[in-house]
Amino acid sequence: MRLERRSHTPVALLLGAPALALLFTLAVTSLLVAWAGAPVGRAYALLLEGGFGSRFALTETLTRATPLIFTGLAAAVAFRARLYNIGAEGQLYAGALAAVAVGGLHGGSGFAAPAWLLLPLMMAAAALAGALLLLGPAWLKSRLGVDEVVTTLLLNFIVLLFVSAMLDGPMKDPTAMGWPQSVAVQDTLQLDKLVERSRVHTGLPGALAAAALTWAVLRFGVAGFEIRATGANARAAAFAGVPVRWVALKVALLSGALAGLGGAVEVAGRAGYVTLDMSPGYGYSGIVIAMLALLHPLGVVAAAVFVAGILVGADSMSRAVGVPTYIADVIVAVALIAVLVATMFTQYRVRR
d(CA 53, CA 227) in angstroms, rounded, equals 39
Q: Where are the beta strands (DSSP E) in 25-79?
A: none
CB of 236 to another protein, least distance (A): 5
Q: How many residues appear in the chain? A: 352
Site mask for another protein (CB under 8 A), range 181-220, x = bound:
---------------------------------------x
d(CA 95, CA 264) in angstroms, rounded, equals 6
Nearer to another protein, 42 or 143 (CB): 143
Contacting residue, 221, 280, 281, 322, with another protein by CB under 8 A: 221
Is residue 292 within 8 A of residue 335, CB to CB? The reply is yes
Q: Indicate whether 7 belongs to the interface with another protein (CB under 8 A).
A: yes
Nearer to another protein, 157 or 239 (CB): 239
Contacting residue, 112, 144, 177, 222, with another protein by CB under 8 A: 222
Q: Indicate whether 13 belongs to the interface with another protein (CB under 8 A).
A: no
Is residue 282 within 8 A of residue 110, CB to CB? The reply is no
d(CA 222, CA 219) in angstroms, rounded, equals 9
Q: Indicate whether 1 belongs to the interface with another protein (CB under 8 A).
A: no
Nearer to another protein, 135 or 238 (CB): 238
d(CA 342, CA 151) in angstroms, rounded, equals 31
Interface with another protein in residues 224-263 (CB under 8 A): 225, 228-229, 232-233, 235-243
Nearer to another protein, 106 or 349 (CB): 349
Q: Indicate whether 145 belongs to the interface with another protein (CB under 8 A).
A: no
Scored b (16 or more CB within 10 A) or e, 303-334 reads bbbbbbbbbbbbbbbbeebebeeebbbbbbeb
Residues contributing to the site for another protein (CB under 8 A): 4-5, 7, 220-223, 225, 228-229, 232-233, 235-243, 351
